[in-house]
A and B are shown apart, each in its own frame.
Chain A
């Protein structure tokens, strides 16, 4: 039974050196490498850009956010404006109909 004190740094250094040497000591590729890759690529045929609808949606969704926000603000403002107008219209109707107007006045008091 062998025993030794474990030294993480030394082992790491040694293994790192061996690992990095792999990159430089490897064999060169054959002369046919490029031809073989191109043959495989040609077998696949031409590829064309086809839009990915989900990513397109994602892309345009965020672009549309400020437009949507602006639209919401305009709609809210318009609704508030519309409400004031309707109250005015309601008052006009009551003014033209004194009985109902009195009733409403009494109810409010």
Chain B
């Protein structure tokens, strides 16, 4: 208990950093590293997680003078993490670095099985999870960066429109419209893939 009291608070660390003490940033890095990695792992391909997480911290360091402390440092850092992931996809979609392949027979079968009655058993199978991930990645890669992010936050993570709007820096109305459209697009994509 006493140890916790001796640890400097976030505000104190931020004051030190803004006073020119660059090394004080390491406290924040160690404290929030896991939370940032959790967010980045969900949105970014595994191969790019480390680099993107680094970008999040560098961006946070540069933006520290704008931190007002209204909603706490972790919330502020989470917003930066989500927006960095969003920027990653925007850049990626501009250059179209990923393969736009079609679903394989195996994935189509998985999707059919999910829709059928065997689905509850299939959820727990390791191989099925791998296929689910591949189908999800395939579908998300077919969408725009905006649709992808809103779909991940609202449809898959279950955030409210207000929360997603805060993370992405959009209006609530924009999030709701995008969310509805992207869900329709995803459904159309998956339906089409099992029809062909």
Residues of A in contact with B (beta carbons under 8 Å apart): 1-8, 10-23, 26-27, 29-30, 33-34, 36-38, 40-42, 44-50, 52
- Choice from A2, A4, A19 contacting B136 with Cβ under 8 Å: A19
In the bound complex, do residue B61 and residue A13 qualify as a contact, i.e. CB atoms below 8 Å apart? Answer: no
| Nearest CB on B from A101, distance (A) | 68
Q: How far is the CA of A5 from the CA of B117 in the complex (A)?
A: 11
Return the 7 tightest CB-CB contacts between A and B, nearest first: A18-B132, A26-B41, A46-B20, A19-B156, A49-B18, A18-B133, A37-B57
Q: Secondary structure of the B side of the interface? A: helix
Closest to A17 in B: B123
Besides the contacts A38-B25, A47-B61, what 9 more A-B pairs have beta carbons closer than 8 Å?
A3-B195, A6-B187, A10-B114, A15-B132, A19-B152, A27-B49, A44-B62, A47-B18, A47-B64
List chain B residues, Cβ under 8 A from A12. 155
- Choice from A4, A37, A52 contacting B29 with Cβ under 8 Å: A37
In the bound complex, do residue B156 and residue A6 qualify as a contact, i.e. CB atoms below 8 Å apart? Answer: no
Q: Mark B19-30, 1 if CB is under 8 A from A, else 0.
A: 111110110011
List chain B residues, Cβ under 8 A from A46. 20-22
Residues of B in contact with A (beta carbons under 8 Å apart): 17-23, 25-26, 29-30, 33, 37-38, 41-42, 46, 49-50, 53-54, 57-58, 61-62, 64-66, 108, 111-112, 114-116, 119, 122-123, 129, 132-133, 135-136, 152, 155-158, 187, 190-191, 194-196
Known contacts A22-B42, A46-B20; A11 and B30 CB within 8 A of each other: no
| Nearest CB on B from A100, distance (A) | 67
In the bound complex, do residue B25 and residue A48 qualify as a contact, i.e. CB atoms below 8 Å apart? Answer: no
List chain B residues, Cβ under 8 A from A49. 18, 65
Q: How far is the CA of A3 from the CA of B195 in the complex (A)?
A: 6
Closest to B49 in A: A26
Closest to A28 in B: B37
Q: How far is the CA of A13 from the CA of B123 in the complex (A)?
A: 9
Known contacts A38-B29, A50-B65; A29 and B115 CB within 8 A of each other: no
| Nearest CB on A from B22, distance (A) | 5
Q: How far is the CA of A18 from the CA of B29 in the complex (A)?
A: 29
